[in-house]
Structure 1
């Protein structure tokens, strides 16, 4: 009989069996670097231990990682390209790990040759922001990245999430390949390496999210790609080819239906000139500066649907060759056309039927559009507030625009400046909202239209308004200029202008510098002007060769600069001595070349003046006025070390005061000379020559002599006698009381000789008169002494 133990047995629990790769499979090749790794399910296994490496037994990518009970693993990082990848999958359960599992391997692709990669060629030693053997790839901070890059030198980086710099062994030309999640190429023109980019070679299968600044500043970039980029999710192409000087790629087949922003897309792409008429731009809202400085571009765009565009600011600015029909465009949504055709020298296409009713800014719109001369009178400009520089240097423009409703316009500065042919009526315009008319007709050589009906009451700036408006000579005296603060150069070089302005209220104007400079015909009264706010009159009448009007009523109390005010004003000669010049700092060349000016200026306050250089050069100031002016100025506290220009002037009896100015204040006075003309003789006015019965205490009087600053008096009781006064200097007076009574019953001989510091009158005639007797007051019975020879009469 068998024992009871013979029916017993024991069970042995074994570990799970091994598995094998099913994707990729063992010895597969050309496997994507972002592949998942899958294996066969092992029944009963609780999980798997995974090893991945680039050499057999060297698990440098993943080492003994328990990935759980899954059969597909997605590596955290892309696998190295062009590499043998070794994989070991070990199932396990509660009894342990599978035993004897075989290592398998596959080979990854070389993605540089993959049609799915994004490929670019760079030359590292071109100027950039890295050294000549380095390359910077930038990313757009608005998006997330996870890409791998092959640098073209056998080196790669995987799973890159931000900007990256690579250093090459040697400078040179390299083609890089990018694969993975790279949603937006990007280059900052100031910090990137875009200038090192030579070509776009391949777009790959990337689903692009943005092209904003994608190749910004890539000046040497060519376009070699033949595949099409997937732009279906791209809304922003702003600055995409900005400053890509060499770019001239055929991109007419691109799908841009999702794009909303194309501002600066081709700006400064100097050689770009490819068709774009197949583009569907119906979603675009911003085309600002799209072709700005795209000097070569001249392709048809008339088929574009621009109905969604709201801004076309500077769209064709500096597009020197562009001259294509775009009159069919629906611009009804556009609000900004500022500088749209500025410097578009060749553009001259009809756009008069455009609906511009929403546009608020037309500043600079046709500035320097030298050939543009198309009708615009149908435009509804009722919302436009800025027309500054609109036709500045539009050399050909001369179209009627008097029907425009400009009631919303506030800025018309430089509007027709240097538009030499423009001469159209504008008198229907309501300019009551305009605040700035500075340089409005500056250089508008032909313009001469009535403007006197304009309401300019809101205007604060009229500086340079008619500067070099050579033909303008229309009345504007009805203008209310009470708000204007700046009239500097307003009629500068307006050679024809000569209209009355004396009724203007200029009480707010602080600047009149250059106002009539070179206005050769202007000669109108201005003395009624209220100049209480005036601060600057420099060059105001310089070269105004006809002007000679009184200005003595002007309030000059705030004026600080009068330099060159009347320089070369050949006709001007009006009294100005009443001006309060206490604030004037600069009087340099104020009257230089004013060859008619001959006025006294001695009452001017020069205490704050620091520059009088050239002030009186080549004026007509007489010796007397110059002398008296110097004498008066010598009594002031003057700024030290000044140089007074007085070329051509002569001084005489102010020589002492002139010297004291130089000694006491360190002045240099240049160009004048000492020259005292010989004074004329004078005539005694009391008593007259030959008078008799002259009182013994007579006061002598005589006529003043212009060139004299003193008189010698000789008095005697015989011809040529000097016994009473001997050549006495009685000073600069025309009356003299003798120190004692004259002798009675005598013939008195008197000679008065005018003099000045340089000379004395010559040949002055002696005169004589006879005195009465020295007779006391006598009563009726008193005897009377009578001079011998006196003839008595009983009449």
Structure 2
């Protein structure tokens, strides 16, 4: 079930018109593509009181007891069905407690595998989701749209609510999603970990977001191959974890020098494989960072001054510039007195040729392949 098939399938029937569906903002309204004879497992995590689900095929269910994570419904015909929920759900998520992640890209092979092996597994539903038309009284839980590779639309003028102020994994693996969400209210959000991980089509502005309360941005743009939007206006003063943040964000090359990084402790793998990135970072406050391992590993274009960084608390610099082919900047002023691991630090950094003679390496226990 691919994006291509979804767009070209002329036999699909739309059971309710989108304009009619969006009219009632009190309802949680979504569109799903379901094949004939197929069950849809609709998430109900965090249901509060009675909810009524209109399945879009003339039938409905009322739930007023139990604490099941989902309710199933079988459709008799192929179609795109508009499902309406009247009631409150506080932790709605496609994830449904998945413990083993399907890491394949959401391409034709992946869809066929999911359909063939997991179609009756209630955990695998996300590829059937096409649109959210209205949020209603629903709040979203972690990994809201995980692996929703056919998701193409969200309400344009509504801001969703998130359980416990966490946006963790919201678009994890939502490989086709590329809609503007700049209007979202993020002022209370504390966690953006893995938010766009694997969202390989996403490339929309986010610079207006209020990130003043966010503490975790780890893996936020991990594998976002298309993303290249300004983020320099973000307030990152409370962020402590930026590890893996732009891992293999292959197109990203935007200024970040105005970020407040004074509370960040972990920058490991931050620009790993970010092969286009080459922006100044010399104004960053790195005084609390302890881990810089593999920070610029494979950042092929990066060649900016870093000699003003405070590295006095860093203990791990392993593979920090490994494969950073163009990097050749002075680092002799760095305080390396607490570093224990410098293994492969400059391996395959073929242009690097700077003095390091003033470094304090008294605590280093591993220098293996440092200049390999």
TM over 0.5: same fold? Answer: yes
Contact kept in structure 2, 1:243 and 1:270, CA below 8 Å? no
C-alpha separation between the residues in 1 aligned to 2:173 and 2:60?
A: 32
Counterpart in the other structure of 2:28: none
User: 1:181 aligned to 2:60?
Assistant: no
Contact kept in structure 2, 1:314 and 1:337, CA below 8 Å? yes
Of the three residues 240, 248, 270, the one matched with 2:130 is 248
User: 1:354 aligned to 2:237?
Assistant: no
Counterpart in the other structure of 2:277: 397
Structure 1 residue 399: Cα displacement: 0.7
C-alpha separation between the residues in 2 aligned to 1:313 and 1:247?
A: 23
C-alpha separation between the residues in 2 aligned to 1:138 and 1:375?
A: 41
- Residue 207 of structure 1 aligns to a residue whose secondary structure is strand
Residues 394-793 of structure 1: pairs in structure 2 closer than 5 A: 394-492=274-372
C-alpha separation between the residues in 2 aligned to 1:380 and 1:147?
A: 44
Q: Deviations over 1:363-405 (max 9, x none)?
A: 0111111111111111110000010011111111111111111
C-alpha separation between the residues in 1 aligned to 2:273 and 2:199?
A: 16
Structure 1 residue 178: Cα displacement: 2.4
C-alpha separation between the residues in 2 aligned to 1:302 and 1:362?
A: 21
C-alpha separation between the residues in 2 aligned to 1:364 and 1:461?
A: 19
Counterpart in the other structure of 1:373: 253
Contact kept in structure 2, 1:357 and 1:380, CA below 8 Å? yes
Structure 1 residue 482: Cα displacement: 1.7
Q: Give the structure with higher Rg (CA).
A: 1
- Residue 208 of structure 1 aligns to a residue whose secondary structure is strand
Counterpart in the other structure of 1:208: 88
Q: Which runs of 4+ in 1 moved over 4 A?
A: 120-126, 135-149, 174-177, 182-185, 192-206, 213-220, 240-243
Of the three residues 201, 213, 229, the one matched with 1:321 is 201
C-alpha separation between the residues in 1 aligned to 2:265 and 2:233?
A: 20
Residue 242 to residue 423, structure 1, CA distance change in 2 (3 Å) = farther
C-alpha separation between the residues in 1 aligned to 2:156 and 2:166?
A: 18
Structure 1 residue 143: Cα displacement: 6.4
- Residue 61 of structure 2 aligns to a residue whose secondary structure is strand
Of the three residues 265, 270, 287, the one matched with 2:144 is 265
Structure 1 residue 203: Cα displacement: 4.7
Residue 283 to residue 205, structure 1, CA distance change in 2 (3 Å) = closer
Residues 6-405 of structure 1: pairs in structure 2 closer than 5 A: 177-181=60-64, 186-187=69-70, 201=81, 203=83, 206-210=86-90, 212-213=92-93, 216=96, 244-249=126-131, 251-255=132-136, 259=139, 261-281=140-160, 285-405=165-285
C-alpha separation between the residues in 2 aligned to 1:265 and 1:375?
A: 29
Contact kept in structure 2, 1:213 and 1:241, CA below 8 Å? no
Highest RCO, 1 vs 2 (Cα 8 Å, sep ≥ 6): 2
Contact kept in structure 2, 1:184 and 1:208, CA below 8 Å? no
Tell me, which stretches of 5 or more residues in structure 2 are unaligned?
1-31, 99-110, 116-121
Counterpart in the other structure of 1:679: none
| Alignment RMSD (CA, Å) | 3.7
Tell me, which stretches of 5 or more residues in structure 1 are unaligned?
1-119, 127-134, 150-173, 221-239, 493-795
Residue 386 to residue 243, structure 1, CA distance change in 2 (3 Å) = farther
Residue 335 to residue 180, structure 1, CA distance change in 2 (3 Å) = closer
TM-score normalised by length of structure 1? 0.36
Structure 1 residue 275: Cα displacement: 3.5
C-alpha separation between the residues in 1 aligned to 2:176 and 2:40?
A: 30
Contact kept in structure 2, 1:252 and 1:278, CA below 8 Å? no
